[in-house]
Structure 1
Amino acid sequence: MSALLLRRLRCLSRTPGSVRAFSSLPPPLPTALVRSTFLDFFREEHGHLLVPSSPVRPRGDPSLLFVNAGMNQFKPILTGTADPRSAMASYRRVVNSQKCVRAGGKHNDLEDVGRDVYHHTFFEMLGNWSFGDYFKEKACSMAWSLLTEHYGIPADRLYVSYFAGDAASGLPADEETRQIWLDIGVPAAHLLPFGLKENFWEMGDTGPCGPCTEIHYDHVGGRNAASLVNTDDPEVVEIWNLVFMQYNRDMDQTLSLLPKSSVDTGMGLERLTAVLQGKRSNYDTDLFTPLLHAIHQRSKVAPYGGRTGSSDQLKVDTAYRVVADHVRTMCVCIADGIHPGMSGAELVLRRILRRAVRFNVEILKAPQGALASLVPTVTHILGGVYPELQREEERIIDIINENEAHFLSSLQQGTRLIHRTLRKMEDKDSSVFPASVAWSLNRDLGFPLDLVDLMLDERGVRVDRQELERLIAENLEVVSDQPADAQPGLTLDVSSLVALQRSGVPHTDDSMKYQYRLKEDGYVFPKCSATVVALFNGQALVSEVTEGQRCGVILDQTCFYAEQGGQSHDRGYFLRDGLQDVPFPVENVVVAGGYVVHHVTATDHLKVGDQVQLHLDQVHRLSLMVNHTTTHLLNFALRTVIGPSVQQRGSHVSADYLRFDFSTKKSLSASQLQQIERCVHDIVSAKHMVHSQELPLQAAMHLSGLRTVDEVYPDPVRVVAVNVPVSELLDKASDPETSVELCCGTHLLQTAAIEDMVITSERQMVKGISRIIAVTRQEATKAREAGKDLSEDVDSLTTRLTLSTPADLNVAQRQAKEVGVLSDAVDNTPMPQWQRRELQSQLKVLQRQSNTVIRKMEIKEAASQAQAVLKKNGQKDVLVDSVETDSMSVLMKTVNHVCSASPHSHVILLAHQRHSGKVLCACQVPKGSASLLASDWATAVCGHLSGNAGGTAVVAKGSGSSSDITGALRWAEQFAHQRLRPLISSHS
């Protein structure tokens, strides 16, 4: 049903002319129609461009874990940093439905999910935007028309908030918006002023911001609900937020008017659907009911009842909501390339998955695997709008199943550790659970802290909360993914970009970065002279800088490549006219809004208008060109060897190596790695030409054999093809057997310069995503030579160990150490990964053989030592002696042999290591010996020897140092007798 047809149907229940209140609710609308009505209203009736949702993994924005609002993908427009050649730069009116996740960082609804009926970690945000086009009046009138006329929501159930102003910030009340709503027909009693917290929106500490107006809906109706707005009352909910971005907050926190005002609106689809389907709960809409039904079919509890709070004592309905919400989030995130992991967004998703598993298994009593079996239901509900869910369904199921199995295993392991710690606490009569253990459970096993609390409450035990919070705070340090040489303080802000445009400063001409030629003796890079057209000191544009001052230098033209498209920036320096002996080193190169900014620490005076000569680090640039072209060949080779299902998931090109992330079900075999290297080598040996050409974006997207990634491409866009001129690709109907990609990077003109490529590492980062590290040219040669040398070393060691039998334990241990040292070298030396895998397999066999020989020798030696100790001492309550061995393993086995032969003896043995000078200590006591614990005895003896020890009540070990073994033995015996004397006396 189209929006236009829906509008006609509703004309029957609507009076013409001004907006009026409705006496009854509209008929329920299915979610698909709610969504399409919104999009069609703005697209067909108000000329908005429909832009697809971006993935929930943010593009190039390290400040976000997930896309959490519809405006995230349009941030470059709002900050003025969009590539002026991209389609985004031309956006004026836009509409979309954006996938959003709020489960980490500033916006985090994770802990609220399940407790109420309207919070979600994943939701869809409907939004319309104006970038310098319409403003407040048009935005308000369209919103009111859509809600009351097209959706048929009774106007008397709607309340509108607006910005009341803030005297401290010097911000006036938004009376303009208030008057617009009055003119539309909103009663004054339904217009409510609020302050900064509720009705002033800011992107961050700096940047575009402005007042907003929110539309709230009263589920009850027939009353004055004004006092309930913005009070977290579940009956009166915000459904739409209209943000009017008219200010920019500068670095010094002052506000200035933006040259172009913009509108950014956001309306949660789930809440809107609940309103239009007459439901108080989002979970009662058709977005969730099929999922809740599927959960019930797999559980062993009653159907979903919608209870919350105290009425949901067993937390069954809470669990239903948690599982339904979280499985949607998992599906969307995994389909967009985010997988459960150990940091950032991956860590948050891991927590979401484990929370869902706990509720599903513990409360809903669902069997293992039930969670992943819900994925087809999610795909059925959302797959029509987000087809990536359908494409990735099988992989999503595999990842959820694998992570669930791992977590359930961790739960069992963690439960055992908790019980073991509790038993130790009973011995010490303590009721405070060690915070270090609780944090280790959470950090290392993913064991939820609230589950630790629950298990301890049942025993009347508590965690040392103050110490736990300290440990958590220590580990909350976020490691930024930003390159070490990045200098965000020199990034142009929106005010500076606007100032440049107002001053008529043209965008930087960086076409010279592509103007190089290939001659017989190598590449020739053109000379580049330029004029300084602007200087930025991190806060504002300035006319000059002095020596030692960091600044961003903008030139009228440049031959330097700015970091983008996964390729590192160029290196080099400037020379200023009249100052030819003082170079200005270029530390970083970035691009913002069409301006290339060279980060420089001034080595002398520099001012706008100065003439400079640019000197490119040609060796560094050539290495980048080699590795970037190799990245394209690697992408092509992966598809050739593994198949067309391989999708690029990320890449990074530096002068030293290249990194390539791609989708694959499992890690590559040694044979596949060799095939991929051969495929690349064949193209290199063939000396294929590398062609590039700019094409209109629309034409480029239809090229045969084209591979793209999820990026915003400029228009026109640069096409890079190997061995086939781009002009010929326009005429081909079938996919050519070559690499064809859209790419702004700098590339070779012929593949021969690559010389060689070696994959030095390949491993699965998470289930379904592998990462390759590769090197080229001289580094590849070094890697192959290292592999050859190590292969010869492994063969030599294998021959030696196979032909010779170790004479004694010391020889066997030395041989095992040789295997270990060689294994470390194989693990850590850059070499062909396929060869590393083969050598690792050989060394594992040798390690097992060596360990078997050592174990047998240790058992034999321990038995001999034990026999000598028993012959010397006989069987007695306290047996203290020394033995000759350098091995703690032998010493422990000797003690065990002695105790097996004399089960009632309390045994401690010392051994003086010949090489290190340390004294080894091992002890064992009969089970149930309350007077003398092995851990106490060993700790005391090793403490006497200025060392330390540890163990259990029965077995312990440690070390110390002493030149007087006899004295140490005497002290150990006296300690034992003092502890055992009361027991011996009572027996007497």
Structure 2
Amino acid sequence: MSYYYYTKLFISNRNIHFSFVRQISKYVHKDISAAAIRQTYLDYFIKEREHAFIRSSPVIPFCDPTVPFVNAGMNQFKTIFLGSQVPHYTKVANSQKCIRVGGKHNDINIVGKDGYHHTFFEMLGNWSFGDYFKEKACEMAWELLTTVYKIPPSRLYITYFGGDDHLGLPCDIETRDIWKSLGVPNNRLLPFKAKDNFWEMGITGPCGPCTEIHFDHMGVINRHEFVNKNLHDLTEIWNLVFIQFNRLPDGSIVPLPRNHVDTGLGLERLCCALQGKLSTYNTDLFDYLIKAIHKNCSEIQKYSGKFGEQDWNEIDTSYRILADHIRMLTVCLADGVIPEQNQKLKRVLRKCFILCETVFKKDGTLVKELSNYVVENLGGVYPELERNISQIHNIIDYELEVFNTIRTTAKKDWRKFSIGRNLPNIDSLDITPSFVKAYKELYDVKLNEIDGELAYRLYDTHGFDLEAIEQLAQILNVKFDAVTFETKMEEVKLNSRAKRQLFIDDKIANLLGEGFEKTDDSFKYSYSKNKDKYQFPEVECKVLQIYNKDQSLTEIKTGSSCSLILDKTNLYFEAGGQESDKGQIKFEDGLFEVETLKKFKNYVIHKGYVKEGSIKVNTQGSLRVNEHIRLSNMRNHTCAHLLNAAVKKIRSATCQKSSKVTQNYVSFDVSVFGPKLNFQDIIAVEKLIRDIIKENLSVRILITDSQGLYSYDQITLIPGDVYPDNDIRIVEIEQGSDFVSREPCCGTHVLNTSDLQDFCVINLKSLGRSTASIQGVTGDRAKLARDNAEDLNEDLIRFKKSVEEHLDKPEMLEMAIISLKQRLNFQITDNTILPYAYKLKIMEELNAISRDIKGKTSDQLRDLVEMEMQDAIESNMQLTKSKKKYIIYYLRISTMLESVSLKRATALCSNIPVIVIAYSDNMVKARCCVPKVIL
């Protein structure tokens, strides 16, 4: 055990007193690892205190559009606090991955400048949903810290809610007395107002007092007066929130029917406390990564832990920034956050590339290398890192390639603009061509400030986010009013929402009035299979409303188009990329054809026309779905899921962009991070899906809520999509461990993969640098494509047999090839569709035949060039009588030649101006000659 002495100086009645105090600076757990600290926490609550373990949710929220990243442990439990869900367990504990790079909690600009702010951190938490409350929560927290972790109580301070007149709430005496009963002395038990010790989820909703535990790294004297003063050596480590109130829209606060506990203990800060470090970068959560940076950049000085002015060259700051950002981006990429869809992540990733290049003298591949260390360190706790390591690497490689391309172009533009101007160095900044363009626009304006209006124009015109505008202001050396920019952005959003709502109100909502019951559309999922036949039961429904051309009607007759709102429907309205159903409603006095459906709020609108008779409001009818269209849609929607899983299996780093499901085809747009999808990839994807069809695998539908959503392994969630809190339908297809398709979906699906019957890719289109569109067909359409391929193949065989005997007629052979090639051009909805792989194969074969024909007949054809030109000259001479003194001629025989010498053609026209045009080897050529003397 080591000791140290310190001198305590105090002044009393003009006399100076010195006293020497012996203090322990090393306690039992100083050498404990972060992994052991994390596991001890979980073991305490799960094994000793019977909490259920809930694993960390992904860092991107899929059921909460209000935050860009999960920034606290409670995010995945918000629906329980709001009362919209019943908890699966009443006591839970976990370690949650958290990201803070935007919004209310934006630490990105502070990272590296101090020793404890991070973009990624881990939050240890324990929750009670209507189980234990204040006494038990405080007791367990105190026991864990002081008995299990053996932190001396003399290092701890407790704050509690001291009441707030504005809220109309008294002091939380109950919590104060609980801490007293646990032995916390009055001079370490401190009341604070709502700013520090009252937690609220939002302007309205669940809220309550909280009590915080602060750790004193010095621990030599009582420093209670410095609590909550933002000292780096006296920090909050644990916050216990007691959710017992609900704030109503009128501002009043009322008790909740059940009390909850929500706690958050920062692992990084706890490690500092237990490992005797003032900076989290000196703990083993970061030490391994900082050493890895130096290992890969040995020519750079070692990390020495300096801050502020002592870190004069900012090398240590750069170590800290790179280490923090590598952890953040590795975790994000493993959780499926895509940089091209998330500007915050893209900016962090590019900042890492720039640091590697400018500070650590390495190219951006260092980022990928360092991500391996993060996976090795955290993969045991968060297995998705190990599972998705290929995805992490592929996306980093792809983004580095994009970054280098963009940056090279931007630097060229910057150098051109710099000529004759004294411009700042941009090597350490994330500069794009659009950034340079914006700088050029503002350079000569002589701005003093970028205000909200100008900032919004930069956002609207150039796609600048807040950080990009701040960077632009920096190199322009002007102020940036971020507050007015945020105000302007919010104003635009509100106006946009208001316009959309006004349009909807004018068109539909005013027609509905009040008191209509919502449309029960659950029957769209009510279908079954008897042997090989799908059965779609009819639904008895009632007409609630009829409207046409913005007018409400009580009756409508034969031939009239209108929209019906029903109390029940078994038809699927357009959603999730799937087209709406079609169907018929049979009434006693009429028949209504449903052509399409839309949903507005809780109402399903059936658009169509009266085929027979008349229809009145409140009449009953029988609604039947068009079974052929529905089944075709179901096949193609299930196929879309198989495509998503198959492409991901073939090329690990992928992200679905969109899909379109119709009765005729499925169109699946996917981003692939790495080399573009090629012919061999499509062959592999097609074979994989056809094998899955032959396996006769069940298509299972599982119903869960947002709590259950995150409990699934290998589930595909689409970044940018917001899933509902409840009644989430999971579509699952498993082929052991070899193939898993599992994703949330509101669409309708077949019950077995064999019901797809067959599948083939019809087309592959590039939609940009990383995105491709795969178009495919199933069922009868797939059979049609293969039948068409057989027919074309038979015609091709016959043609190949006739080539040798018709070499003396090359023009006829070429016309035959052109005719066969024309059959390769089709639309996805045509009945002449062909499998994509077959189409490419035939195109290649026809091109080879064409080259062969041209090679065998080239000498003969070259002689024909002179013959054709002689005919052209003679024809022109006939025209000279009408004073035509030139020749413009297209050489028809050129299409038969691999190459054509136009010099040979124009040489025949020595005494007249001539332009000869040819088309050979997919290229248009032309030659113009004018004689010195024109006769």
Q: Distance in 1 between matches of 2:249 and 2:388?
A: 43
1:804-862 deviation line (CA, Å, top 9, x unaligned)? 9xxxxxxxxxxxxxxxxxx99999999977699899999x99xxxxxxxxxxxxxxxxx
Q: Is residue 2:77 matched to residue 1:69?
A: no
Give the SS at the match of 1:353. Answer: helix
Could you tell me which residue of structure 2 aligns to residue 195 of structure 1? Answer: 193
Could you tell me which residue of structure 2 aligns to residue 513 of structure 1? Answer: 525
RMSD (Å), alpha carbons: 6.2
Q: Distance in 1 between matches of 2:173 and 2:50?
A: 28
1:243-277 deviation line (CA, Å, top 9, x unaligned)? 11222344555444322221111111111001100
Give yes or no for contact 1:422–1:433 (8 Å, CA) kept in 2. no
Q: Among 403, 407, 429, which residue is 1:407 paired with? A: 403
**Closer, same or farther in 2 for the Cα pair 1:146/1:329, shift >3 Å?**
same
Q: Is residue 2:108 matched to residue 1:110?
A: yes
Aligned-residue offset at 1:35: 0.5
Q: Distance in 2 between matches of 1:50 and 1:200?
A: 27
Aligned positions of 1:730-809 closer than 5 A: 746-749=748-751, 751=754, 758=761, 772=774, 774=776
Q: Distance in 1 between matches of 2:412 and 2:704?
A: 63
Give yes or no for contact 1:666–1:764 (8 Å, CA) kept in 2. no
Q: Distance in 1 between matches of 2:307 and 2:674?
A: 41
Q: Among 668, 671, 680, which residue is 2:677 paired with? A: 668
Give the SS at the match of 2:109. Answer: helix
**Closer, same or farther in 2 for the Cα pair 1:327/1:771, shift >3 Å?**
farther
Q: Distance in 1 between matches of 2:742 and 2:481?
A: 58
Give the SS at the match of 1:90. Answer: coil
Aligned-residue offset at 1:514: 3.1
Please, which runs of 5 or more residues in structure 2 have no aligned partner?
Answer: 1-22, 424-439, 506-519, 545-553, 555-564, 607-617, 718-722, 796-809, 812-823, 849-935
Q: Distance in 1 between matches of 2:148 and 2:266?
A: 17
Could you tell me which residue of structure 1 aligns to residue 293 of structure 2? Answer: 295
Could you tell me which residue of structure 1 aligns to residue 634 of structure 2? Answer: 625
1:481-519 deviation line (CA, Å, top 9, x unaligned)? 99x9999x99xxxxxxxxxxxxxxxxx995883344569
Q: Distance in 1 between matches of 2:65 and 2:587?
A: 35
Give yes or no for contact 1:639–1:646 (8 Å, CA) kept in 2. yes
Give yes or no for contact 2:580–2:597 (8 Å, CA) kept in 1. no
Please tell me the residue identity of whatever aligns with 2:280. N
Q: Distance in 1 between matches of 2:739 and 2:75?
A: 38
Could you tell me which residue of structure 2 aligns to residue 44 of structure 1? Answer: 47
Give yes or no for contact 1:209–1:247 (8 Å, CA) kept in 2. yes
**Closer, same or farther in 2 for the Cα pair 1:358/1:648, shift >3 Å?**
closer
Q: Distance in 1 between matches of 2:583 and 2:194?
A: 47
Could you tell me which residue of structure 1 aligns to residue 387 of structure 2? Answer: 391
**Closer, same or farther in 2 for the Cα pair 1:167/1:398, shift >3 Å?**
same
TM-score scaled to structure 1, two decimals? Answer: 0.59
Please tell me the residue identity of whatever aligns with 1:52. R
Give the SS at the match of 2:166. Answer: helix
| Greater Cα offset, 828-837 or 271-280 | 828-837
Aligned positions of 1:664-703 closer than 5 A: 666-674=675-683, 676-677=685-686, 680=689
Q: Distance in 2 between matches of 1:411 and 1:52?
A: 40
Could you tell me which residue of structure 1 aligns to residue 209 of structure 2? Answer: 211
Q: Distance in 2 between matches of 1:202 and 1:661?
A: 40
Could you tell me which residue of structure 2 aligns to residue 225 of structure 1? Answer: 223
Give yes or no for contact 1:22–1:155 (8 Å, CA) kept in 2. no
Q: Is residue 2:269 matched to residue 1:271?
A: yes
Please tell me the residue identity of whatever aligns with 1:167. D
Aligned positions of 1:82-121 closer than 5 A: 82=85, 89-121=87-119
Aligned-residue offset at 1:46: 0.5
Aligned-residue offset at 1:321: 0.3
Give yes or no for contact 1:518–1:749 (8 Å, CA) kept in 2. no
Aligned-residue offset at 1:54: 1.8
Give the SS at the match of 1:287. Answer: coil
Q: Distance in 1 between matches of 2:783 and 2:484?
A: 51
Please tell me the residue identity of whatever aligns with 2:78. K
Aligned-residue offset at 1:348: 1.1
Q: Is residue 2:326 matched to residue 1:327?
A: yes
Give yes or no for contact 2:574–2:597 (8 Å, CA) kept in 1. no
Q: Distance in 2 between matches of 1:628 and 1:379?
A: 35
| Greater Cα offset, 234-243 or 823-832 | 823-832
Give yes or no for contact 1:331–1:396 (8 Å, CA) kept in 2. yes
TM-score scaled to structure 2, two decimals? Answer: 0.62
Q: Distance in 2 between matches of 1:262 and 1:60?
A: 21
Give the SS at the match of 1:371. Answer: helix
Please tell me the residue identity of whatever aligns with 1:356. C
Give the SS at the match of 2:126. Answer: strand
Q: Distance in 2 between matches of 1:171 and 1:570?
A: 55
Q: Is residue 2:522 matched to residue 1:524?
A: no
Give yes or no for contact 1:561–1:589 (8 Å, CA) kept in 2. no
Give yes or no for contact 2:197–2:210 (8 Å, CA) kept in 1. yes
Identity %: 35
Q: Distance in 1 between matches of 2:313 and 2:671?
A: 44
| Greater Cα offset, 261-270 or 616-625 | 616-625
Aligned-residue offset at 1:304: 1.1
Please tell me the residue identity of whatever aligns with 2:36. L
Could you tell me which residue of structure 2 aligns to residue 58 of structure 1? Answer: 61
Give the SS at the match of 1:110. Answer: coil
Aligned-residue offset at 1:528: 5.4
Aligned-residue offset at 1:166: 3.0
Aligned positions of 1:534-573 closer than 5 A: none
Aligned positions of 1:466-485 closer than 5 A: none
Aligned-residue offset at 1:526: 3.9
Q: Distance in 1 between matches of 2:785 and 2:304?
A: 63
Q: Distance in 1 between matches of 2:827 and 2:570?
A: 42
Aligned-residue offset at 1:651: 7.7
| Greater Cα offset, 134-143 or 675-684 | 675-684
Could you tell me which residue of structure 2 aligns to residue 124 of structure 1? Answer: 122
Give the SS at the match of 2:325. Answer: helix
Could you tell me which residue of structure 1 aligns to residue 243 of structure 2? Answer: 245
Could you tell me which residue of structure 1 aligns to residue 477 of structure 2? Answer: 462
Please tell me the residue identity of whatever aligns with 1:462. N
**Closer, same or farther in 2 for the Cα pair 1:118/1:748, shift >3 Å?**
same
1:625-683 deviation line (CA, Å, top 9, x unaligned)? 2333323544676589x49x799979867557564769885433224325544665687
Give yes or no for contact 1:558–1:614 (8 Å, CA) kept in 2. no
Give the SS at the match of 1:370. Answer: helix
| Greater Cα offset, 426-435 or 347-356 | 426-435
Could you tell me which residue of structure 2 aligns to residue 495 of structure 1? Answer: none
Could you tell me which residue of structure 2 aligns to residue 953 of structure 1? Answer: none
Q: Distance in 1 between matches of 2:384 and 2:676?
A: 23
1:583-609 deviation line (CA, Å, top 9, x unaligned)? 9x985499xxxxxx66789xxxxxxxx
Aligned-residue offset at 1:336: 1.4
**Closer, same or farther in 2 for the Cα pair 1:173/1:566, shift >3 Å?**
farther
Could you tell me which residue of structure 1 aligns to residue 359 of structure 2? Answer: 363
Give the SS at the match of 1:303. Answer: coil
Give the SS at the match of 2:365. Answer: coil
Please tell me the residue identity of whatever aligns with 2:29. P
Could you tell me which residue of structure 1 aligns to residue 314 of structure 2? Answer: 315
Could you tell me which residue of structure 1 aligns to residue 348 of structure 2? Answer: 352
Aligned-residue offset at 1:330: 1.4
1:443-490 deviation line (CA, Å, top 9, x unaligned)? 589996666666x5xxxx6358579986996799789999x9999x99
Aligned-residue offset at 1:414: 3.0
Please, which runs of 5 or more residues in structure 1 have no aligned partner?
Answer: 1-20, 491-507, 533-546, 548-552, 591-596, 602-609, 723-728, 793-802, 805-822, 846-988
Give yes or no for contact 2:764–2:772 (8 Å, CA) kept in 1. no
Give yes or no for contact 1:647–1:663 (8 Å, CA) kept in 2. yes
Give yes or no for contact 1:414–1:447 (8 Å, CA) kept in 2. no
Give yes or no for contact 1:62–1:481 (8 Å, CA) kept in 2. no
Q: Among 172, 197, 212, which residue is 1:174 paired with? A: 172
The count of aligned residue pairs is 716
Q: Is residue 2:387 matched to residue 1:375?
A: no
Give yes or no for contact 1:62–1:480 (8 Å, CA) kept in 2. no
Give yes or no for contact 1:327–1:356 (8 Å, CA) kept in 2. yes
